[in-house]
Amino acid sequence: MPDVGEGLTEAEILKWYVQPGDTVTDGQVVCEVETAKAAVELPIPFDGTVHALLFEEGTTVDVGQVIISVQTGEAQAPEAAAAAVAPAPAAAPVAAEAPEEPAAAARQPVLVGYGVSQASTKRRPRKAAPAAQNGSAAAALPAVPAQPEAAPAAPAAPAGLNGNGHAAGERPLAKPPVRKLAKDLGIDLASVVPTGEGGVVTREDVHAAAAAAITPQTAVPAPAPAVSAAAAPTGAQAEAPAAGDARETRVPVKGVRKVTAQAMVNSAFTAPHVTEFITFDVTRTMKLVQELKEDPDLAGLRINPLLLIAKAVLVAIRRNPDVNASWDEAAQEIVLKHYVNLGIAAATPRGLIVPNIKDAHAKTLGELSTALSELVATARDGKTSPADMQNGTITITNVGVFGVDTGTPILNPGESAILAVGAIKLQPWVHKGKVKPRHVTTLALSFDHRLIDGELGSKFLADIAAVLEHPRRLVTWA
């Protein structure tokens, strides 16, 4: 499992596009994984034949673990196959059995990200597994966790063992992430029966122990948080919520939901938030939207109120450039940005994400419309890349599509402000001295008070409203 370049530690396998026996070519996409930020397709950096898929769909895998075995040349001799497993630190995110090639000193090619450096994944030496009957190196890799080999009948525990395969008084063998998982779930590793090579306790072993512990008491909530249960979508633990007498359902916190939760907590308790509101008449903007939809020069483009709101924000930033900044805590500096990467909060089946339109300030109305449409479509398809969500400056969140008047949005980490757009409704409004039905909306602007004081924040919000109340200012103020 490669690090796609964002410093992530794990990813969930969403879908395999190949099966054992399939022929693959260099650069062919073999699977889709979901990181904490987005769904990413992984290509294979080899030509060969798929020998085994080492993890099932829905499994969360640590970065650096081998997920697929590909035979690239002639089968190795049994001795070479066994030896190929021993240098685990040199394992690439996608394993291949090239015949008797020396391990490269540099990181191996993975096409996605930079791979895993040899020095970063050192592990204790493992015993070599017996070679498979066909003599291929792939058969010497650990068994697929979701399809373990049938365990032989357990003999009586010899003297010095605790009955679970661990020597009495010896610390059970497990990777640090597995130890943390056991701690989070309240599982004593010494009580877990290991199925990994060399007596190593795996994630699946811990989840099996946790499932066995909670099965007889379905209605009693587990004492540990559900975050670490992301890698156990099947088995007794998944079946427990379906019990007829269950009063609670626990949903693992992972992927986009997990990173969003962490980001919101960090933002709320790092940047001092201030939120201001303004309610105003947008009837002229709604009329302009209809006129632009009929404009032949904009045929084929998606024209809606959000497009003009985005343009109004860009005009207001130009009039109040100091709002477009970030806080550098380490250097104790305010970084003024001379570009606008406009974030658009998007609700997706995997959770809330905030991709941004790069250099939105330099785009025409038509270019901005195209960028918005592509951003939304990519987000809904789950194809937003991590790069699309980096280096945002200011964000718009359109809660009005849910019929909500407005809200108090939390800043996207590293940004100075976020604008919540409420529902646009026909309301009685005083216009030219008479009460008339007018299109009215409410905007809410949350901003970082370290960067933006009350005066600047108020002027910025008032300018956005002024543009939308009299959209001719899109021209006169631009």
Q: What are the residue numbers of the active site?
A: 449
**Is the separation of the CB atoms in 453 and 274 below 8 Å?**
no
Find the radius of gyration of the CA atoms of the chain.
28
Q: What angle do CA 307, 310, 313 make, to 5 degrees?
A: 155
Q: Distance (Å, rounded) from C-alpha 4 to C-alpha 79?
A: 34
Q: Which of 424, 407, 441 is nearest to 276 (CA)?
A: 407
Ranges of beta strands (E only) in 25-140 are: 29-34, 39-43, 48-53, 60-62, 68-71, 95-96
**Is the separation of the CB atoms in 323 and 447 below 8 Å?**
yes
**Is the separation of the CB atoms in 15 and 51 below 8 Å?**
no
Q: What are the residues whose beta carbons fall under 8 Å from the beta carbon of 134, sequence distance 6 or more?
A: 75
Q: What is the DSSP string of 152-218?
A: PPPPPPPTTB-SSSPBTTPPPEE-HHHHHHHHHHT--GGGSPP-SGGGEE-HHHHHHHHHHHHGGGT
**Phi-psi map region of 154: left, alpha, beta (phi>0 left; psi -120 to 50 alpha):** beta
Q: Distance (Å, rounded) from C-alpha 329 to C-alpha 317?
A: 23
**Phi-psi map region of 185: left, alpha, beta (phi>0 left; psi -120 to 50 alpha):** alpha
Rounded alpha-carbon distances, angstroms, from residue 93 to 59, 324, 364: 15, 40, 43
* CA dihedral angle for residue 467, residue 468, residue 473, residue 478, rounded to 10 degrees: 70
Tell me how crowded residue 15 is: count the other CB atoms within 10 A of its CB: 12
Structure token pair of residue 456: 């600047």
Q: Which of 112, 115, 114 is nearest to 42 (CA)?
A: 112
Q: Distance (Å, rounded) from C-alpha 468 to C-alpha 313?
A: 10
Q: Which of 391, 366, 389, 388 is nearest to 311 (CA)?
A: 366
Tell me whether strands 394-398 and 417-421 are parallel, antiparallel or unpaired.
Answer: parallel
Q: What's the distance, CA 443 to chain centroid? A: 29
Q: What angle do CA 326, 332, 338 make, to 5 degrees?
A: 30
